[in-house]
A and B are shown apart, each in its own frame.
Chain A
């Protein structure tokens, strides 16, 4: 956010995080107490919109550009790269969309018997990582390399915790409940959705590792840090996917 100074941008990021956290708590409450699918979908869409605008800065796609700009300049290529990344995310979202459709096609308004508290915990970890990722990007935009490294590393640690939580805790605990890949379609869908998402988280972690390494060697500047921006947007995209997958797997529907 170029027009905000650093502390304003930090504050905005924190505020959005609070909104997202409140919505996540509300979502959980709605699922337990009311069970309204419409409400759950609405909340997910609101969270989606918040992340898309305030964390992923989708409006940058629409930025006005000097018509006489040199096509070989960094600024021009940056806009092109940004467009390419968003097109990729659009394409990738069809994979996740297809999985979500399969989930509702096969299971309808039932869900596998999963530990909802555990789901909330991993969701919170991922949400918190998005918050730190936003701070990391803001730090880089204002040339604060030390904080950039710090916050990206925190994101990385939380991302690792998320993967460990899903693969190392959630999967065994689901299997203990009888939800395995091969028992029934519900188990298959659960492992496919979380597995595909975890695969994306792992690629995101590699991406974060790369920008931490290059950032610590001073390769990014407030003017030139497309690598950081791309990693940030990708990381938030992973969060966005989980915003929909989490209610689809843990909250919507009755246990069959």
Chain B
């Protein structure tokens, strides 16, 4: 406990609370001096809450000490390149510049947020099990539903950053990310963002769903503002992390690692980072404009003042559609990365896969308005956006063909490892998500499907198959690399076989009742529609999934201490990080390696991918 109360995390939270209070009090004081009313429904007035929230987030950064090095630089002082991390668990709640520690920090935070988001969904899923309102008010239903969306999204973003941070420098043979301090800074933006986001519940919540469309978002309680602030702060975390990723891949590769000898996951990470680094600014901007509309009466989205709510949707979806590619591309990259290891065959069509990741990212910038067919935007925009959206199926199809061809006649000896099961599950579920996509992209059918449970089923399939199942695969696969122990296989299989079939049932039923006319985002439905049995089954499957996640956590924490030791090349992988012992040494590779062959030539005799220097070289650290 003493270690916790002296940690950067605790100091950050403490300072966030102090900064929040001081900021809000300061603004209230100014309001008093200006003769404005100092207090409102939720104690402070809305401007005071917003200003306080902003000051609080900045205070967190100051208080946790993640910006101290930069202040020293501004004062002209030098700081050491590497901090010494303590050995125990407390390094994970303190500032560390080591990408492996930061990767674990990201991953643990992501899991925590996924659990919180999952609990929200269980609450309102239970409410939906029966028609009529049982225990939630409409306001709470809306708030939980919206927060489920955004908390999950930020959990996914952190999870991606976790995998990229941990794996990517190892895959390319770097000692660390290109900008270690920026890396730490990106991570430490996440905790205050999460606090801001969750604080919206205490400030009246909000009704808009995670999309925050005006005009409704200009009217809901103050919670809306905390939601906006939280997303903006988390968005900066994503932007800076992506920037760091791109710089790392361009600048820190091992010798001989040319573009087409990069591990395929690195291509996916690049594609994802291009989107995250640029488009994220637009969701931040759109949310900021609504914030200002609320605070200063600026009429961007207010038709009475010559504004236009459709503009918000354009700005918002310019990020929020590519964002789903930010979520899935690393997941699909993990699938492509792990599949050859398990089936002992070369990855089919390596270059096509690499290019398809970039293709999805670039086409992804041109499809945003397919969310707006029914919004009242200019009708001539519909057809071009329909075609650009359908075009996404081409590079995605390339990936599926490659996976199928890679699996074809592959040899897996013995029982399937859990990580492999999750890879296969990811492919199947993502296929369901992919096939349910074109009906939404096609204008004629989307006009009927818009805002139904069909859409809910579709995007849960894409995100589960494209991100969550591969994320679990990555955890089961690289867990030994981080800890030197492997996770329990029996529990892992139980986790998989409980989670995936129930999830498939859940989303199929979502699509089914969506086609029958169930609207999304509603707290209640008409009993005469006959949806009660469907909703009951869906609620049960949701709890089965939650139970499987509980098994995962038991496995995860037990294996850290008591798992079967696995220090060698457990998966018989060709990738460089498995050629050294586990857990990974502090400064990664003691000897630099050179890339001398193709990365995925599994099953081919005397093909070498990486060659380690024989003698110890005299680099620093």
Binding site for B on A (CB under 8 A): 70-72, 76, 79-81, 83-84, 87-88, 90-92, 94-95, 98-99, 101-102, 105-106, 181-189, 191-192, 210, 213-214, 217, 219, 227
Contacts and interface: CB of A to CB of B under 8 A. Distances in A.
Interface string B286-306: 100100110011111010011
Interface string B6-32: 000000000000000000000000000
A217 B75 CA distance: 10
A84 B179 contact: yes
Contact of B279 (A80, A81, A94, A213): A94
18 contacts: A71-B175, A80-B247, A83-B247, A83-B251, A84-B182, A91-B243, A91-B280, A98-B285, A98-B286, A101-B314, A106-B307, A181-B298, A184-B299, A184-B305, A185-B308, A187-B298, A188-B299, A189-B300
B315 A102 contact: yes
5 nearest CB pairs, A to B: A182-B297, A188-B298, A94-B281, A185-B306, A185-B307
Contact of A80 (B251, B292, B297): B251
Contacts of A81: 179
A70 B255 CA distance: 12
Interface in B302-345: 302, 305-308, 311, 314-315, 318
B190 to A, nearest CB: 18
B35 interface: no
B301 to A, nearest CB: 9
B48 interface: no
Contacts of B297: 181-182
A255 to B, nearest CB: 14
Contact of A191 (B179, B285, B298, B305): B298
B307 A99 contact: no
A139 to B, nearest CB: 19
B346 interface: no
A219 B74 CA distance: 11
A232 to B, nearest CB: 16
A219 B300 contact: no
B178 A185 contact: no
A234 to B, nearest CB: 14
B284 interface: yes
B533 interface: no
Nearest to A70: B619
Contacts of A94: 278-279, 281-282
Contacts of A181: 292, 296-298
Contact of B292 (A84, A98, A101, A192): A192
A76 B302 CA distance: 51
Interface string B216-247: 00000000000000000000000100011011
B277 interface: yes
A94 B305 CA distance: 26
Nearest to B318: A98
A218 B387 CA distance: 60
Residue with the highest number of chain A CB atoms closer than 10 Å, among B178, B298, B299, B308: B298
Nearest to A217: B76
A6 to B, nearest CB: 25
B494 interface: no
B201 interface: no
Which of B76, B279, B297 has the most C-beta atoms of chain A within 10 angstroms of its own C-beta? B76
Nearest to A68: B255
Contact of A106 (B178, B250, B292, B300): B300
A183 B251 CA distance: 50
B252 interface: yes
Given A181-B298, A184-B305, A192-B292, A91 B247 contact: no
B289 A102 contact: yes
A210 B77 CA distance: 12
A71 B253 CA distance: 10
Contacts of A84: 178-179, 182, 243-244, 247
A219 B277 CA distance: 32
Contacts of A182: 296-299, 305
B616 interface: no
Nearest to B311: A105
B83 interface: no
A80 B619 contact: no
Nearest to A72: B620
A90 B275 CA distance: 12
B281 A106 contact: no
Contacts of A191: 298
A173 to B, nearest CB: 19
B247 A87 contact: yes
A23 to B, nearest CB: 28
A224 to B, nearest CB: 12
B235 to A, nearest CB: 11
A210 B68 CA distance: 15
A168 B279 CA distance: 33
Contacts of B292: 181, 188, 192
A74 B49 CA distance: 45
A184 B279 CA distance: 27
A84 B74 CA distance: 18
B212 to A, nearest CB: 16
A253 B296 CA distance: 26
B298 A95 contact: no
A111 B27 CA distance: 34
Given A102-B300, A185-B306, A187-B298, 5 more contacts: A83-B250, A87-B246, A102-B311, A188-B307, A217-B76
A181 B297 CA distance: 7
Nearest to B306: A185
B288 to A, nearest CB: 9
A113 to B, nearest CB: 14
B76 A88 contact: no
A101 B286 CA distance: 12
B299 A98 contact: no
A84 B182 CA distance: 10
Contacts of A70: 619
Contacts of B175: 71
Contact of B277 (A87, A105, A183, A213): A87
B409 to A, nearest CB: 41
Contacts of B281: 91-92, 94-95, 98
B131 to A, nearest CB: 42
Contacts of B251: 76, 79-80, 83
Contacts of A71: 175, 252, 619
Nearest to B619: A72
Nearest to B312: A102
Interface string B68-88: 000001111000000000000
A87 B300 contact: no
Interface string B247-284: 10011100000000000000000000000011111101
A82 to B, nearest CB: 10
A91 B299 contact: no
B326 to A, nearest CB: 14
Contacts of A187: 298-299
Contacts of B277: 87, 90-91
Contacts of A83: 178, 247, 250-251
Contacts of A102: 289, 300, 311, 315
Contacts of A214: 74-76
Contacts of A183: 299, 305
